[in-house]
Amino acid sequence: MSVETTETAPAPKRGMNILFGLTLLGLLLFLWLLLGLATNSFWTPNNISNLLRQGSMTAILAVGQTFVIITAGIDLSVGAVVGFTSVIVAWLLQAGVPLWASIVLTLLIGVAIGAFHGFGIVRMGLPPFIITLATLTSLRGIGLLLTNGSTISINHEGFTDFSRADFLGIPSLFWMVVLVAIPAFVFLHLSRWGRYLFAVGSNSEAARLSGVNVTRTLYLAYILSSTCAAFVGLLLASRIGIGNATQAEGWELQAIASSVIGGTSLFGAVGSVHGPLLGAFILATINNGANLLNVNSFWQRIVTGLLIIVIVYFDQLRRRSSR
Amino acid sequence: MSVETTETAPAPKRGMNILFGLTLLGLLLFLWLLLGLATNSFWTPNNISNLLRQGSMTAILAVGQTFVIITAGIDLSVGAVVGFTSVIVAWLLQAGVPLWASIVLTLLIGVAIGAFHGFGIVRMGLPPFIITLATLTSLRGIGLLLTNGSTISINHEGFTDFSRADFLGIPSLFWMVVLVAIPAFVFLHLSRWGRYLFAVGSNSEAARLSGVNVTRTLYLAYILSSTCAAFVGLLLASRIGIGNATQAEGWELQAIASSVIGGTSLFGAVGSVHGPLLGAFILATINNGANLLNVNSFWQRIVTGLLIIVIVYFDQLRRRSSR
Amino acid sequence: MSSFEELSHRHDDEARMAEPDSVPRGAPILELRGLQKKYGLVEALKPADVTFLSGEIHAIVGENGAGKSTLIKLLTGVIRRTAGEVLWCGRPVQLATPTEAISRGINAVHQEVVLCPHLSVAANMFLGDEMSRNGLMRQGAMERAAQAVLDDLGFHIPARISLGRLTIGQQQLVATARAAMRGIRFLIFDEPTAYLTRQESAELFRLIRRLREQGVTIVYISHRMEEVFELADRVSVLRDGAHVGTRLIGETSEAELVALMINRSIEQIYHKEKVPLGDVILETRGLSGPGFEDVSLSVRAGEIVGLYGLIGAGRSEFALGLYGRQPLSGGEIYWDGSKVTIGSERAAMDLGIALAPESRRDQGLCLNLPIGLNINLPVFRRLSSGIVIRRSEEAANADRQIRDLRIKTPSRRVLASAMSGGNQQKIVIGKWLSHGARLFVFDEPTVGVDVGTKAEIYRLFGQLLKNGAGIILISSYLPEVYELSDRLHVFRDGRLVASHPFRGASHEDVLTEAIGI
Amino acid sequence: AQDVTIPIIVKDTTSFYWQIVLAGARQAGKDLGVNVPELGAQSEADINGQISILENAVAGSPAAVVISPTEFKALGKPVDEAAQSVPVIGIDSSADSKAFTSFLTTDNVEGGRIAADGLAAAIKATTGKEEGEIAIITSLPGVGSLDQRREGFLDQVATKYPGLKVIADKYADGQATTGLNIMTDLITANPDLVGVFASNLIMAQGVGQAIAENKLGDKIRVIGFDSDDKTVGFLKEGVLAGLVVQDPYRMGYDGIKTALAVSKGEKVEAFVDTGANLVTQENMADPKIDALLNPKVD
Ligand SMILES: Nc1ncnc2c1ncn2[C@@H]1O[C@H](COP(=O)(O)OP(=O)(O)OP(=O)(O)O)[C@@H](O)[C@H]1O
Ligand SMILES: Nc1ncnc2c1ncn2[C@@H]1O[C@H](COP(=O)(O)OP(=O)(O)OP(=O)(O)O)[C@@H](O)[C@H]1O
Ligand SMILES: [Mg+2]
Ligand SMILES: [Mg+2]
């Protein structure tokens, strides 16, 4: 694919990113307004809390995934990493390892998995799709082996209470999104490493000849993605109070969908931090609304699929017209 | 992925394809030899029949998937299409539609789904990953809605007996692979349309400038993939005697893995028909062997993941060194 | 009849069936009436009226971004016109798709090579027009035919290997052979000699003249004035998307064309600053690596060292090896007199080496990112304090390069892909000017660059030299290296075969050394 | 008109078993004039999904909530939390919470034991003794109720049937085809296999198909779990030796009925066992069993 300009995602004009962010925000607010009119329960503090909690984990995964997609890669393993790290933290806590150490070790496992992906891609020359697909398969197996197919209970009260707690009236899970999003924003949009991610995604040879350490940049992207996934593994373990290797199945696709709905281009070099966040909460709102409206869960799937098509289509349209 | 030459798979030398095919065949035979030594039951006619049956469906899916991957696309929906069409054929047979008509209608549904993908990619400008992900989500929903979450039994004896039948001592399911593979080989390697698939995957702009109808080529690739999936849906329905929308979950990843193990490049423009067939039967052999050796099924997952890495790595090595 | 003519004949018959029109030699074959193209608000081509006569060689000249490639893309059905009319043999035609253009016998060799790297050379030449029998392709026949055509044209390229294995220059030749096979009535060349050496250019000119003899109409776009005067019958000038005139070649002069093109005059193109030479900055001793062997040369402050050679002579490989992109297999590098090892691109940059690579598409630019980001890419480290980038400096640096190099863009935020070929080249150069260094390696820096900017770039070289830098100039354009280099090295088959001081040998001698006869 | 809302939350709406539970609940809603939103995750393994659905259901301030917790430990706290605002009625499986107002379960561990008994009886009927090699195939790892069935089965075999040897303890991936493949390979590798426990509907379908394909119904006895047309058909043909059948319809129906009573402040039974039964060719004509095999799903 060396000579095609037509297929490259046309890049956004000045302010386009922000404008698209606003369009998405508009869509989200519109959905909220609609649900507020259609149900009595949507705008209750309780439900808003629920909504924020429900979107949080996908949002964090989607941010991590976005780093990888910007480099024109993909990380299919994030769901498996979430399940696997939930097992790890449960296992550590059960073994009596102090909370802080369990958390640090779990995150380090995330770093290690990301580094392994980086190694596979950079040193072994494997396509990202394949190496992360392989990890996906193997990690679930290892997690199941560790637990012998069952679950590990977590009896650390402080840990399991965390996901239910509020701070300033906002669920702690949502605060975790903020905790991830702010440094992620600084990193991607304000620091030079963020620029390097875009450059590598656009043309890694040009980036390399410009002195960008392509190897390090790729490692970084995959490590960030896996670490975000490990962090979500911690949150999930806290939320469900157990470690179970089969959890979070298919979350990688949700994360990718959120990211793309948020304007990330799968061809690389186009993306932001706020986009995937909005994408994740749009998907969460659809599910939440469908539950409140008592929509058949099968219809929910159909609608989600259609909505992905519609949103991404309009994103394409907007970009094309702004050329 | 538009501007990098470095990332495009290096173009294979003449005869390379065949050589790689032989390497893979060697690997497959080696596995068979090993299993023959390790177990008493591997080389029984019964087990060989089973093995051929077990690999058949993935093999057909992988061939269809390969057409799409050669155009530098991907079809994530094939698993969902298999589940969905198994429901459709069960439903038609239950409603008393004659067998031939049920089969034709089911295959036509496959064609329609593929055409929809083509439409989304060509006309709406959606990335293949996204449109097929959306179909995956929606189709499962529609299938579940049709069956209300349950299964539809198939009482047509001839239909369900088919998958158990043998012909010349070879299971009919494997004959179906032959039935698909021969025209697929002629199409991909000997006809000009096959060449256009490679051209579009290599550089769609160049293909367009040469007068290749890129639109039609893309439609063709996705229609072939979906139709293969619908065909597998028929075979699955025949084999398990039910229609159930949640079946074949994750088969898309197996098909993609088979294809890539068989030497197809996810960057497009590199692939064959025999490669994915061998890939599918290698994966089937791993599962069959693990069952015969009574390996813990969790280990099975781990080994599969590792094997994918190893095989694709050696493929890369071989290609790089042959530059 | 040569195999090449046979093949074009095959097309000829098909085309005649599709298009019974024919016009006598010298009569208008293609007429543009108010042809216009807009990209959003950008008017890439203002309503233009141009007439092409059957059997002529019609040159088109103009500055970078003047709209030349746009015109070609309109004629070959790559893009659709915004307004206007095209008459083919006196009748209005759509030219909406490449297929339509090809079926009328119109074809082009585009500025950027557009072929499929994974397919074989033969498959590329026959793409979209395969020989087949009973629905199956005749692969052997196509390979033989393609090989015959390539041999006939004097291109030494095997037809069976993958196109991706050839150098850009060789790929360009394949594209040429292919177009010549198909564009049997109207054939357009968009800067075909950009990546060709002089010898190859000569081959190409012979081919073009031969085609004209067969009655083919040729449109020839180039920034090299001497080529225009050598080849063309008539010449049209574009300026800022507008057609500003057409002249018979005998009735115009280089000065007039340049004046029409840029609306100002330039005194001298090869502007050579006389800078006193300083100390040796870089010295290589017996450097070897993939594609080159045993190269020893040195560069002093204030010196331009020219590397000339044919395609594949190993100059680019030498530059990449020096720059740490590819591992060296032997030899030593001395920087300011002390031995160094350069393990990575970053190490080279930190020493003070800058490399403006050969292929802007593959190595030079992140096409789907903004111009500003491209220009700043090597210097983000300098533009950052701590973690964050100082955004005002980021903007200022990009804007300065855009201004200095006269990159034709409304803003630094426009994507590099929306720029014309020449403007893209300027971005690549701007990137390294903003980085600054003590040794600049320019690999084919003026490919596709218009005369005005060329002069500008040469003046910049002078500036760099005065600041105490040294330059390695790699070029396949002999007049350029010849006139600018303080020392000219000739490469052949990966080895340095000859060296001359400034104007120390004639053009012919240098060429002979490069070819090796 | 229906201003009383009682949502029912099942484990997996894509499974037939849970559709029967929903059908029972739906009927109860019609009979009692209650609005019954039918909710549930789309996989028994999706714990987080069920927690979110519970949260959403409670946010709608219903009169009560009926739930079948997908995992014992994980749903404990969410149920505690939900019970602070509405009465919670548990069905099918239990959770680590004391907040349930009432509880209608079938004991899955007990179901596993029943399967073991059924398998032993079937093997005895064919070979004359409770001896030989047997296998268990679990549809998916990490699913609470399947774990409990496996546990009950293995425990019962170990304590009561020393002659039966579990030579394979396999996990599939929730796909009938995988069950089928595992079964055919087990047949190949273990010619002495006499019995198999396929612990849910999908596995029973796949395993049954393998037995039917190889015509081994009289040599390898298979006990399945839950029922639908397909597996009942297998039972009739003798491909399957027995099915452990619960009463999902009643669970759904009584769940809503109990919840309504609770919401009106009436006193209800704190614990009801709806039971599990072994269905074989002999007793399948029983009216009571027949009702279990043919629930009124619309
Ligand atoms: N896809 C596009 N979108 C927007 N503007 C474009 C696009 N392609 C070309 N342009 C603009 O149209 C103008 C004419 O470009 P064109 O490529 O025809 O120039 P050119 O004469 O071939 O220049 P060069 O000698 O540098 O190749 C330029 O200003 C360019 O920036
Ligand atoms: N990775 C590689 N390994 C081995 N040989 C290579 C490699 N890449 C290129 N070559 C060969 O090295 C030779 C030198 O190519 P190079 O591009 O450096 O020539 P050049 O003098 O710069 O010519 P050009 O005019 O094409 O730029 C060519 O024959 C090329 O085929
Ligand atoms: Mg141009
Ligand atoms: Mg070169």
Each residue's pLDDT tens digit, C414-469: 899 888 888 888 898 888 888 878 999 999 888 878 888 888 888 888 888 988 89
Q: Which string of DSSP letters, residue by residue, matches C230-255?
A: HH-SEEEEEETTEEEEEEEGGG--HH
Tokens of C8: 């074009």
Question: Which atom, in ligand 1's list, is nearest to the CA of C63?
Answer: 25
Enumerate the H helices of C384-469 as residue ranges: 391-404, 421-435, 451-466
Domains of chain C, each with CATH number or no CATH: 3-268 (3.40.50.300), 280-515 (3.40.50.300)
Q: Chain B closest CA to D99's CA: distance in Å?
A: 31
Would you say C116 and B200 are in contact if contact means Cβ atoms under 8 Å apart? no
Q: Please check the confidence at residue D2 and state whether its pLDDT lies above 70.
A: no
CB-nearest to A153 from D60, D73, D171 is D73
Question: Which atom, in ligand 1's list, is nearest to the CA of C45?
Answer: 14
Question: Exposed, middle or buried, C41 (CB in 10 Å: 0-12/13-18/19+)?
Answer: exposed
* Whole-angstrom distance, CA of residue D105 vs CA of residue D247: 10
- pLDDT tens per residue, range B84-122: 999 999 999 999 899 999 999 999 999 999 999 999 999
| Average pLDDT over all residues of chain C | 86
Subunit contact A241:D76, Cβ cutoff 8 A: yes
C76 to chain B, any CB pair closer than 8 A? The answer is yes
> Half-sphere exposure of residue C453, counting CA atoms within 13 Å on the CB side?
29
Domains of chain A, each with CATH number or no CATH: 53-321 (1.10.3470)
Cβ pairs B/C, distance under 8 A: 101
Q: Which of C165, C159, C164, C203 lies closest to C178 in space, CA to CA?
A: C159
Segment C483-492 mean pLDDT: 91
Q: Please check the confidence at residue B14 and state whether its pLDDT lies above 80.
A: no
C-alpha angle with apex D151: D149 to D155, nearest 5 degrees? 120
Probe residue for ligand 2, chosen from C113, C317, C441, C443 as the CB with the greatest number of ligand atoms within 8 Å: C317
CB-nearest to A297 from D13, D71, D141 is D13
User: Ligand 2 atom 30: the closest Cα is on which residue?
Assistant: C312
How much distance in Å is there from the Cα of C171 to the middle of ligand 2? 13
> Which pLDDT score, from 0 to 100, does residue A7 have?
33
Tokens of B284: 């089937």
- pLDDT tens per residue, range B296-310: 888 888 988 998 898
Subunit contact A205:C381, Cβ cutoff 8 A: no
- pLDDT tens per residue, range D191-215: 899 999 999 888 999 999 899 888 8
Question: Which atom, in ligand 1's list, is nearest to the CA of C448?
Answer: 25
Subunit contact C114:B8, Cβ cutoff 8 A: no
Subunit contact C127:B14, Cβ cutoff 8 A: no
* Whole-angstrom distance, CA of residue D130 vs CA of residue B41: 26
pTM higher than the cut 0.90:
no
Which chain B positions have a beta carbon within 8 Å of C104's beta carbon?
none
Chain A (267-286) residues lying within 8 Å, Cβ to Cβ, of chain C: 267, 269-270
Cβ pairs A/D, distance under 8 A: 104
Check if C39 has its Cβ closer than 6 Å to any atom of ligand 1.
yes
> Which pLDDT score, from 0 to 100, does residue B298 have?
86
How much distance in Å is there from the Cα of C37 to the middle of ligand 1? 10
> Which pLDDT score, from 0 to 100, does residue B62 have?
97
D175 to chain A, any CB pair closer than 8 A? The answer is no
Segment B215-243 mean pLDDT: 94
Q: What is the dihedral of CA D80, D82, D85, D90, to 10 degrees?
A: -80
User: Ligand 1 atom 17: the closest Cα is on which residue?
Assistant: C420
Q: Chain B closest CA to D212's CA: distance in Å?
A: 10
Check if C167 has its Cβ closer than 6 Å to any atom of ligand 2.
yes
What are the C-alpha distances in Å from C356 to residues B86, C310, C406?
58, 19, 18
C and D touching (3 or more beta-carbon pairs closer than 8 Å): no
- pLDDT tens per residue, range A276-313: 999 999 999 988 888 888 788 788 889 889 988 988 88
B203 to chain C, any CB pair closer than 8 A? The answer is yes
* Whole-angstrom distance, CA of residue A222 vs CA of residue B218: 31
- pLDDT tens per residue, range C5-22: 566 555 544 444 444 467
Residue of B nearest to A320 (CA): B125
| Long-range contacts at C21-28 (CB < 8 A, ≥ 24 apart) | C21/C88, C21/C89, C21/C90, C21/C91, C22/C89, C23/C54, C23/C89, C23/C90, C24/C54, C25/C54, C25/C55, C25/C215, C26/C53, C26/C54, C26/C55, C26/C56, C27/C53, C27/C54, C28/C52, C28/C53, C28/C54, C28/C87, C28/C90
Three-state SS string across A236-282, please? Answer: HHHHHCEECCCCCCCHHHHHHHHHHHCCCCCCCCCCCCHHHHHHHHH
Chosen for mutation from D13, D52, D150 (greatest number of chain A CBs closer than 10 Å) is D52
A113 to chain C, any CB pair closer than 8 A? The answer is no
> B277-291, D18-32, D55-69, D280-294: which range is least confident on average?
D280-294
C476: three-class secondary structure by DSSP: coil
D56 to chain A, any CB pair closer than 8 A? The answer is yes
Would you say B311 and B261 are in contact if contact means Cβ atoms under 8 Å apart? yes
> Which pLDDT score, from 0 to 100, does residue C492 have?
87
User: Ligand 1 atom 13: the closest Cα is on which residue?
Assistant: C44
- pLDDT tens per residue, range A174-202: 999 999 999 999 999 999 999 999 999 99
Subunit contact A267:B1, Cβ cutoff 8 A: yes
CB-nearest to A205 from C363, C373, C431 is C363
- pLDDT tens per residue, range C71-128: 999 998 888 999 999 998 888 998 888 888 888 888 888 877 788 988 999 999 998 8
Q: Chain C closest CA to A62's CA: distance in Å?
A: 22
Task: Categorize the per-residue pLDDT at A4 as very low, low, confident or very high, splitting at 50, 70 and 90.
Answer: very low
| Average pLDDT over all residues of chain A | 87
Q: Which of the other chains make 3 or more beta carbon contacts under 8 angstroms with chain D? A: A, B
Probe residue for ligand 1, chosen from C42, C63, C189 as the CB with the greatest number of ligand atoms within 8 Å: C42
Subunit contact C366:A206, Cβ cutoff 8 A: yes
> Which pLDDT score, from 0 to 100, does residue D68 have?
92
Q: Chain B closest CA to A40's CA: distance in Å?
A: 27
Which chain A positions have a beta carbon within 8 Å of C118's beta carbon?
none
Question: Which atom, in ligand 2's list, is nearest to the CA of C313?
Answer: 21
